[in-house]
Structure 1
């Protein structure tokens, strides 16, 4: 078994190394070479299979493609019979991570699956411990180190988080955007690559190594079964992967951002909340935002109208504010446009709606 981190673009994994972007740092290849050296073996065959020229190992700026990373990881895991590639004090024989995945596949939702993954990972290797916690709206998957991981530390911590995050995305068939990624080591020379490895804000020199994401993803039911797992493990994927196109919580996340704007009484901001500003908050491009909303059967304008309507109805029910103030609080620039929109939503003017709701 190779890396568990999946990609939603099956055809992409077949691309030759010259047809895909080279974004994976050569430092990770050096880590694999070091794992060979620690075992008294030579990596020549693995490098050749991955079409990685040995001289690249001496170029700090060199990058390889995901195809190449998959090839060398596959070869090394089999030759070393170690899916952890030398990270831990004992080897993880071929199939170890597949066994962890099978222990999680029967979980009712992602929260249980990841908790099982963390617990069972500790049974395989006690050099590190994985912890899944939630605080408020944020879920955190963090790593604590029980021993010095030495020269393989960065490669280990990055790979463990990438594999867990990739598996989580695959289990619920959804992109799980990261709100932050933190690493308990100084920024490496190839720190720019982390923008691809971990989409979202990245910090180095942190107190812990962890990734953070919206806790609502933990409630999503698993969408994979044992048959799908067997297929995935037969076509394991590289550490550097494409993002999932689908985000099953995107509509909720956009609605939450818009709702927070209205609830904060920043009425003009709702009207001015462009695709560009929302996309920046969600760490995607405006084009991606529109496309993914469409895939989920929604539009940005439709969600804005939904939030405005909900806010207006709530204020008309609960308060005696003048219609003009309700219009402003719901994000409208003037009372006239609010009345027109409200009538299109409910078939009644705001005043009629308030009167009827109180007479009922």
Structure 2
């Protein structure tokens, strides 16, 4: 299974440090990497150039060639090889799971059959799911960063593919100092980034775990032929995005916020937020109206606050605009709604 895409195929921003780690894998097995570098159109002299980057397409080509040529999908990371097809086995073993939570648990359990050098674990607490990597053997410094990053990305990419949805990360942590190519990490992992952590991990909303698997064996065979674009690049839709936006809007005491502020909280651009909501068949304005309507109805039913105060509390500038909107939502004015005890 080729390594996951870190970036858009045409943009040269994948760190050369990851290319160097693959070359170190060749050195471990005493094999010349020249053919792999040529396949990826990476000039050998580029390896030592400070700040050099490659495209995701080049990186995919290099990985695919190296994993097959060395017959090791771990590329030298572990004390024993992961023969070609190992990650395909993990995918297949998890495919029949009823939901993503079971699939990730199976992935973690079966990963132990491949190597004892590291283990993966799914933990759930306070509504947050965390996938963590524990190192049981000191990994070679030449491989450690690439190993931990790729291990997390393999599983995250497969999980997105399996439920046909982007899984937005809350945070990602790494047990090493920020590398010189730290700027590439926000492109690999959304959410808050933490270095010098106890172990490698990423976390996300627990509710993704309940989403059902969407793929079958035929889809898996197709994906494994070229896993990179299928496991990462196509996932623009987030099946929980509308729900998460609605919750953020509801939590704001001063009424719904701006698209820019909400997008920042979700680690998205404002443009991406609007596009993804549109793909879900809704819009930010529709969600704002829904939240305002629910909050207004709740206050009209439960309190005796003046309508002007309710209007300001749910995000309207004045009572007149609130009354006009409320009539559009319910067919009656706020005062009449309260009197009728609806």
**Pairwise same-fold verdict (TM > 0.5):** yes
Secondary structure in 1 aligned to 2:133? strand
> What whole-Å deviation, never above 9, does each CA across 1:41-75 have from its counterpart, x for those lacking one?
11111111111111111113110111111111111
Q: TM-score, normalised by structure 1?
A: 0.90
Structure 1 equivalent of residue 341 of structure 2: 357
In the alignment, structure 1 segments of 5+ residues that lack a partner are 14-19
Structure 1 equivalent of residue 263 of structure 2: 279
CA contact (8 A) 2:93 2:107 kept: yes
Matched, 1:339 2:323: yes
- 1:1-360 to 2 correspondence within 5 Å? 1-3=1-3, 5=4, 20-150=10-140, 151-237=142-228, 242=233, 244-261=235-252, 265-267=253-255, 270=256, 273-357=257-341
- CA distance, structure 1, for counterparts of residue 227 and residue 282 of structure 2: 33
> What whole-Å deviation, never above 9, does each CA across 1:22-41 have from its counterpart, x for those lacking one?
11111111111111111111
Give the structure, 1 or 2, with the largest relative contact order (CA under 8 Å, sep 6 or more): 1
In the alignment, structure 2 segments of 5+ residues that lack a partner are none
Residue 181 of structure 1 deviates from its aligned partner by 1.1
Secondary structure in 1 aligned to 2:227? coil
Counterparts in 2 of 1:249 and 1:237: CA distance versus 1, 3 Å? same
- CA distance, structure 2, for counterparts of residue 243 and residue 339 of structure 1: 43
CA contact (8 A) 1:69 1:238 kept: no
Segments of 4+ in structure 1 off by > 3 A? 238-243
- CA distance, structure 1, for counterparts of residue 165 and residue 151 of structure 2: 19
Secondary structure in 2 aligned to 1:22? coil
CA contact (8 A) 2:5 2:60 kept: no
CA contact (8 A) 1:100 1:120 kept: yes
Query: What is the total number of aligned residue pairs between the two structures?
Result: 341
> What whole-Å deviation, never above 9, does each CA across 1:135-168 have from its counterpart, x for those lacking one?
2222111111101011210010000011111111
CA contact (8 A) 1:339 1:350 kept: yes
Q: Which range moves more in the overlay, 165-174 or 196-205?
A: 196-205
Q: TM-score, normalised by structure 2?
A: 0.95
Secondary structure in 2 aligned to 1:202? strand
- CA distance, structure 1, for counterparts of residue 302 and residue 126 of structure 2: 27
Q: Which range moves more in the overlay, 151-160 or 312-321?
A: 312-321
